[in-house]
């Protein structure tokens, strides 16, 4: 195996081992701790870590451990200041975020519920208007049928009146002619009687 390949193999294996070993820990409940460039107080400080900071362990030792922060900054910290237990501050932050999420969800649910109430009210209003329209339509059809029946009855009665007028006119003419006939007969009889009386006198 050539040297470059060996180096590449060692780098890959070391990277895999580091990734496999990485463990999530937190800074224990102290005010602040230092993260240094090496395992000892003589090394330069690269960051100050507050309580509750989440870290990934890259290399664990009894006194010092090499860790990495969430923003990819790495260094050494005292192992006694690390803990696997989530600090109460982290729990409080998580609960606060969950509470905010639940509050947002509750707000959206209330908005949706209000929208449904308004839609339901609008639907009831439409149903009431439709019912009134349907009732009015039924009444209109009933009135229209009654009106047509009355028109038909009126036309029939008008025709009967016209027939009665014609019959009355015919009867008046008949009575007039009858009266004239009687008058003429009476006149003729009267004249005849006079002539007979005159002859008798002669």
Instruction: Give a yes or no: residue 192 inside a domain.
Output: no
Where in the sequence is the domain holding 51, given as residue range(s)?
16-86
The label of the residue with tokens 């910290």 reads: 77
Instruction: Give a yes or no: residue 45 inside a domain.
Output: yes
Residue 85 gets which letter from DSSP? S
Across 133-152, b (16+ Cβ under 10 Å) vs e yields: eeeeeeeeeeeeeeeeeeee
- On whether both 104 and 179 belong to a single domain, the answer is yes
- On whether both 91 and 180 belong to a single domain, the answer is yes
The label of the residue with tokens 């010092």 reads: 64
The pLDDT profile of the chain, 202 residues, written as one tens digit per residue, is 554 444 444 444 444 444 445 677 766 556 688 999 999 999 999 999 888 788 899 998 889 999 999 888 999 999 888 888 776 666 677 778 888 888 888 888 888 888 888 888 888 888 888 888 888 888 888 888 888 888 888 888 888 888 777 776 666 656 655 665 556 666 666 666 665 555 555 5
- On whether both 80 and 93 belong to a single domain, the answer is no
- The structural domain count of the chain equals 2
Instruction: Give a yes or no: residue 197 inside a domain.
Output: no
- On whether both 42 and 60 belong to a single domain, the answer is yes
Instruction: Give a yes or no: residue 80 inside a domain.
Output: yes
Residue 79 gets which letter from DSSP? G
Q: How many CB atoms lie within 10 A of CB 43?
A: 15
Instruction: Give a yes or no: residue 200 inside a domain.
Output: no
Instruction: Give a yes or no: residue 177 inside a domain.
Output: yes
CA gap 21, 8 in Å, rounded: 20
Count of positions (residues) in the chain:
202
- On whether both 33 and 58 belong to a single domain, the answer is yes
Instruction: Give a yes or no: residue 173 inside a domain.
Output: yes
Query: Are 22 and 57 in contact, with CB atoms under 8 Å apart?
Result: yes
Angle at alpha carbon of residue 59, lines to 23 and 25, rounded to 5°:
30
Residues pairing with 82 in the sheet: 27
Both structure tokens of 148: 């047509």
């Amino acid at each position: 195996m050539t040297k470059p390949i060996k180096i590449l193999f060692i780098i890959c294996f070391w990277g895999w081992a580091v990734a496999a070993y990485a463990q999530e820990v937190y800074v224990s409940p102290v005010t602040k701790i230092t993260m240094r460039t090496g395992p000892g107080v003589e090394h330069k400080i690269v960051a100050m870590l507050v309580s509750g900071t989440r870290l990934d362990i890259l290399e664990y030792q009894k006194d010092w451990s090499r860790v990495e922060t969430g923003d990819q900054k790495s260094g050494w910290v005292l192992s006694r200041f690390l803990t696997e237990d989530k600090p109460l501050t982290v729990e409080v932050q998580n609960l606060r975020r969950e509470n905010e999420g639940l509050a947002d969800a509750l707000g959206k649910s209330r908005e949706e519920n209000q929208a449904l109430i308004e839609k339901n009210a609008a639907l009831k209003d439409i149903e009431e208007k439709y019912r009134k329209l349907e009732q009015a339509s039924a009444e209109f059809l009933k009135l229209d049928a009654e009106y047509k029946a009355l028109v038909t009855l009126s036309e029939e009665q008008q025709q009967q009146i016209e027939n009665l007028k014609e019959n009355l006119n015919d009867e008046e003419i008949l009575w007039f002619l009858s009266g004239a006939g009687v008058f003429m007969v009476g006149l003729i009889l009267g004249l005849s009687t006079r002539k007979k009386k005159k002859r008798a006198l002669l």
